[in-house]
C-alpha cells in the first residue's frame, strides 16, 4: 500500500559480491529486529498487567493453557483460526490490488446473515444445504463489499471510509433482521424466550466436525488451509493474479497493459467480501460460535482480527496460516484469563501491540535498503 520510489544501480562484479555480503548481514539484522519488536510488545503488555495488579506470569500461563495446553483446547483454537484465515485471505486479495478494505467485520456479519437465511429455510439433503449456505455467505459478503467498491469506482469515495462505515451499518441491519420473523428471527415457539436469535441450523445442515487426538474442530479448517494455498498460487502464478498485482503496484502501467482498474478492482473487492462472508457462514455452520444460531454481535471481532492477521502476515497467504493460528490462540487463551483476575481485554491490547511492533522492522529495513541503494547509485546520477 505504500509508494515505492527506488534507485537504479549498475552492478559491477565487486558490487555484486558486496551486495551478497550485505544481504547476509541483513538476515541476522532482520531476525534481531523482529525478535526485539515482539519482545517489546509483550513486555509492554506485561507491564500493563503488573501495573494494574495482575501477574504477567499467570496471564502468560493462562493464555497457553487456554489456547493449546489443556485438553481439547487446540481444537478450539483451530476452529477459531479458520474464519480468521478466511478473512485474512480476502484482505490479502484486496490489498494486493491496492485497495484498503477494512470492513470485514461487517461483510462477515452480512455473510453470516445470508447463510442463516438460506440455512434455515432451504430444504433438501444436508450437504446441499451446507453448500447453499456457504454460497449464500459468499454472496452476502461480496455484496456488502461491493457497495463500497461501487462507491469508490463510480463516485470516487475512498473505500477505507465506506467499508468502515458500512461495517457499523451491517450491525444495525442484522439487528433488524433478527427482530423480524420473516427475515432471520426464529419463530416464537423455537426461541425459548430469547429476543433476537435465529433458528438453529438443523443437525444435518451443519458443517462436519472431526476429532483428532481428543480435539474436535470443524472441517472448515481444511477448507481454509486449502484456500490459502490456492490464493497464494493464484496470486503468484496465474495470469489473473499477475494482473491483480500489477494493478496494486502501478495502476497506470496496469491500465496500459489492459488491466482495467474498475473491473479488476471491483472483482477484488467482491472476492474480498466473499471471503469474509464465507468466514461468517463457516462460523455459523461450524459450531464454535453461538451454537449454530445467529445472534447480535455474532461476529465477535473475528473480522477485525482477521484483518490484523493479514497485516501481520505481510499480505502473504501462506504466512497467514501461522499468524491466524497465533491470533486464534490469543483469543481462546483469553477465555482462561478470568481465573487470573485480569480483564480479558488485555488480549486485544496484546494483539494491537504485536501488530504495531511488527510494523516497525519492515519499515526500518526498508529505509536501510533505500539508503544503501541511494548510496550505491551515486555512481550514476
Positions 179 through 218 that interact with other proteins (CB under 8 A) = 179
Q: Which helix (H) or strand (E) holds 378?
A: none
Are residues 272 and 125 in contact, defined by beta-carbon separation less than 8 angstroms? no
- Nearer to other proteins among residue 131 and residue 352 (C-beta): 352
Are residues 281 and 134 in contact, defined by beta-carbon separation less than 8 angstroms? yes
Query: With binding defined as CB under 8 A, does residue 6 bind other proteins?
Result: yes
* Cell numbers found for residue 235: 496470486
Stretch that binds other proteins, among 220-228, 244-252, 275-283, 284-292 (CB under 8 A): 244-252
Query: With binding defined as CB under 8 A, does residue 355 bind other proteins?
Result: yes
Query: With binding defined as CB under 8 A, does residue 156 bind other proteins?
Result: yes
Are residues 85 and 309 in contact, defined by beta-carbon separation less than 8 angstroms? yes
Query: With binding defined as CB under 8 A, does residue 254 bind other proteins?
Result: yes
Minimum CB distance to other proteins, residue 287 (Å): 27
DSSP 90: H
Q: Which of residues 274-333 bind other proteins (CB under 8 A)?
A: 304, 307-308, 311
* Binding characters for other proteins, 323-352, by CB under 8 A (x = yes): --------------------x-xxxxx-xx
Are residues 33 and 365 in contact, defined by beta-carbon separation less than 8 angstroms? yes
Stretch that binds other proteins, among 128-136, 205-213, 217-225, 356-364 (CB under 8 A): 356-364
Are residues 129 and 208 in contact, defined by beta-carbon separation less than 8 angstroms? no
**Of 78, 86, 102, 138, the one binding other proteins by CB under 8 A:** 102
- Nearer to other proteins among residue 246 and residue 279 (C-beta): 246
- Nearer to other proteins among residue 285 and residue 309 (C-beta): 309
Query: With binding defined as CB under 8 A, does residue 245 bind other proteins?
Result: yes
> For helices 104-121 and 261-286, what crossing angle results, to 10°?
60
Q: Which residues are CB-neighbours of 127 under 8 A, at least 6 positions away?
A: none
Are residues 248 and 95 in contact, defined by beta-carbon separation less than 8 angstroms? yes
Q: Strand 215-218 relative to strand 209-212: parallel, antiparallel, unpaired?
A: antiparallel
Query: With binding defined as CB under 8 A, does residue 151 bind other proteins?
Result: yes
Are residues 24 and 14 in contact, defined by beta-carbon separation less than 8 angstroms? no
Distance of CA 297 to the CA centre of its chain: 18
Minimum CB distance to other proteins, residue 93 (Å): 16
Query: With binding defined as CB under 8 A, does residue 379 bind other proteins?
Result: yes
- Nearer to other proteins among residue 152 and residue 206 (C-beta): 152
**Of 122, 131, 164, 183, the one binding other proteins by CB under 8 A:** 164
Q: Which residues lie across from 217 on neighbouring strands?
A: 210
Amino acid at each position: 500500500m505504500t509508494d515505492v520510489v527506488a534507485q537504479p544501480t549498475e552492478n559491477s562484479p565487486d558490487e555484486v559480491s558486496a551486495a551478497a555480503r550485505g544481504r547476509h548481514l541483513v538476515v541476522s539484522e532482520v531476525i534481531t529486529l523482529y525478535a526485539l519488536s515482539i519482545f517489546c510488545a509483550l513486555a509492554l503488555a506485561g507491564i500493563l498487567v503488573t501495573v494494574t495488579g495482575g501477574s504477567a506470569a499467570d496471564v502468560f500461563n493462562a493464555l497457553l493453557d487456554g489456547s493449546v495446553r489443556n485438553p481439547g483446547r487446540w481444537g478450539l483454537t483451530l476452529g477459531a483460526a479458520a474464519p480468521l484465515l478466511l478473512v485474512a485471505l480476502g484482505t490479502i486479495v484486496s490489498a494486493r490490488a491496492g485497495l484498503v478494505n477494512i470492513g470485514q467485520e461487517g461483510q462477515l456479519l452480512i455473510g453470516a446473515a445470508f447463510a442463516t437465511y438460506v440455512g434455515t429455510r432451504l430444504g433438501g439433503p444436508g450437504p446441499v444445504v451446507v453448500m447453499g449456505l456457504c454460497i449464500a455467505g459468499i454472496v452476502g459478503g461480496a455484496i456488502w463489499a461491493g457497495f463500497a467498491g461501487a462507491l469508490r469506482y463510480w463516485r470516487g469515495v475512498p473505500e477505507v471510509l465506506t467499508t468502515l462505515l458500512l461495517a457499523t451499518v451491517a450491525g444495525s441491519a442484522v439487528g433488524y433482521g433478527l427482530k423480524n420473523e420473516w427475515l432471520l428471527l426464529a419463530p416464537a415457539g423455537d426461541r425459548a424466550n430469547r429476543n433476537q436469535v435465529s433458528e438453529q441450523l438443523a443437525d444435518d445442515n451443519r458443517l462436519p466436525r472431526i476429532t483428532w487426538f481428543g480435539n474436535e474442530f470443524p472441517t472448515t479448517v481444511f477448507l481454509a488451509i486449502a484456500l490459502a494455498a490456492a490464493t497464494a498460487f493464484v496470486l503468484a502464478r496465474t495470469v489473473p493474479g499477475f494482473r491483480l498485482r500489477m494493478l496494486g503496484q502501478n495502476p497506470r502501467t496496469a491500465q496500459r497493459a489492459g488491466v482495467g482498474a474498475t473491473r479488476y478492482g471491483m472483482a477484488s473487492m467482491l472476492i474480498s467480501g466473499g471471503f469474509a462472508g464465507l468466514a461468517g457462514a463457516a462460523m455459523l455452520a461450524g459450531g464454535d460460535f453461538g451454537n449454530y444460531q445467529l445472534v447480535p454481535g455474532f461476529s465477535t471481532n473475528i473480522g477485525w482480527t482477521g484483518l490484523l492477521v493479514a497485516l501481520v502476515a505481510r499480505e502473504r497467504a501462506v504466512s497467514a496460516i501461522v499468524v491466524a493460528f497465533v491470533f486464534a490462540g490469543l483469543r481462546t487463551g483469553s477465555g482462561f484469563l478470568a481465573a487470573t483476575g485480569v480483564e480479558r481485554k488485555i488480549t486485544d491490547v496484546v494483539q494491537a501491540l504485536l501488530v504495531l511492533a511488527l510494523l516497525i522492522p519492515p519499515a526500518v529495513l526498508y529505509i536501510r535498503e533505500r539508503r544503501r541503494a541511494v548510496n550505491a547509485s551515486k555512481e550514476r546520477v
